[in-house]
Amino acid sequence: MSFRNPPCLKNRKVFVTGATGLIGSHLTRFLVEGGAEVTVLIRDHVPHNYLLDGDPPRFNTVTGDLQDYRLVERALAEYEAEVVFHLGAQTQVQIANRSPVGTFKSNIEGTWNLLEACRQVPTVKAVLVASSDKAYGQAETLPYTEETPLRGDHPYDASKSCADIIARTYWVTYQLPVAIIRSGNVFGVGDLNFSRIIPGTIRSVLLGESPIIRSDGTLVRDYFYVKDAAMAYLATAEALLADTEKIGGEAFNFSNELRMTVLEVTQRILEIMGRDDLEPVILDQAPDEILQQSLSAEKARRVLGWTPQYPFEQGVEETVEFVRGMLD
């Protein structure tokens, strides 16, 4: 499926944090294919990373950590960044529960470092900050809209709530042109974290094993294909560059608005892969998880003209082929 890379980003100097992450790797590839001059900040080299596999990269690479403010500011200044996509974060709920301080430093301090550096670099014209549906916490009314209060209770959720609020602060106080992106559970090609339900289930099926469900199977989530997520960042950047006064400081939910329990997702994958005979193993070992989450993407459709392009089944089929290739 083709995508529309905004022409306003062609020849722009773009800086991406978290470029080797699931969304970041697709976003960076889209930017390069669309003619942007891309610089990425990479902390760790991960073997078989989707961004780095294949042909030699056509982007500049800065090696370092978001917690190193001077490095971040130097990189933005020396590469004359105009558009900044901030996706760098610790993204695993289980790791956050085990090591909250590391998650807070990465997700909160890393965000304020990036935003403050952007404020100090005069070439920056737009900053897109990755938040999450987890920033809303456990809400009484679903789906979440952008007006739902940010009430993350557990370490990962709280880190995203804080980073989200700090991002808006930089617009309100300093008029830094920033917009915030909140998406549901992203899955797809490039995801090598097999503790996640979709790639983990696919790998189990390809190995002829019963899929493992860490929770009790009743948790409700949105499952959002990675290419749609990457295109959501591009659409938001285009709108922010076109009308900073309208989009500055705004948050946008992105979702295909398809709510499913973890067990339903597993069963759908088994059907798509033709292995209904495999029975999921339910461990019921996922404490401190939000019970139900779903996002309304009405604002993104209305304000940005954005709609998802990938049905769930197509996303799963593409992910199956990716995981199959990794196992061969």
Q: Which residues are catalytic?
A: 156
User: Are 101 and 164 a contacting pair, CB within 8 Å?
Assistant: no
Give the integer Cα–Cα distance in Å for 168 and 256. 25
Query: Per the structure block, which two tokens stand in for 277?
Result: 């005979």
CA 13/CA 280 separation, integer angstroms = 47
Report H helices in the chain: 22-33, 69-78, 93-98, 100-104, 110-120, 155-174, 197-206, 226-242, 244-247, 262-272, 298-299, 312-327
In this structure, the strands spanning 220-225 and 259-261 are: antiparallel
List strands edge to edge, sheet with 126-130.
Answer: 60-63, 37-42, 13-17, 83-86, 126-130, 178-183, 251-254
Of 226, 55, 12, 223, the residue nearest 133 (C-alpha): 223
110 forms beta bridges with: none
Q: Is 86 left (phi over 0), alpha (psi -120 to 50) or beta?
A: beta
Write the DSSP string, 249-312.
Answer: T-EEEE----EEEHHHHHHHHHHHTT-TTPPPEE----TT--SB--B--HHIIIII-------H
CA distance 65 to 291: 33
